[in-house]
Amino acid sequence: MSQYLITYDAHKVRHYHGLYRLMGSWHATRLTESLWMANLLGPASVIRDIVAATLDNDDSVAVIQLQQGTDWATSRIHPAATAWLSTYVQPAQVAA
């Protein structure tokens, strides 16, 4: 499995129930209001299409694969999200 960031923007009508059910079924972790992280089998284009199917046709979706060693930092983020990043996307080195 690979680690992915999944983000979306609902432009007009905001129907999130299907998206939230999908994220729950994937055991995704919410980083911010419209940004989720999940361990999934790709490719990103398939994940994007599945997510887009839960939203309206005018909504935006982006799926980005993360890799070990990707640098990251958080501030005032839910501890579960920071723990997910610490577990699955360990930075190459920590600043002193």
What domains sit in the chain, N to C, each tagged with a CATH number? 2-88 (3.30.70.240)
Place of tokens 């501030």: 75
User: For 37, what's the count of Cα atoms within 13 Å in the CB-facing half-sphere?
Assistant: 18
Q: What is the pLDDT of residue 91?
A: 66
Beta-carbon contacts of residue 44 (< 8 Å; ≥ 6 apart): 4, 63, 64, 65
Contact 88, 66 (CB under 8 A): yes
**Amino acid of residue 56:** D
Q: What is the pTM of this model?
A: 0.85
Please give the chain's pLDDT, 96 residues, in tens: 899 999 999 888 778 899 999 999 999 999 998 999 999 998 999 999 999 999 999 999 999 999 888 888 888 889 999 899 989 987 655 544
Contact 19, 54 (CB under 8 A): yes
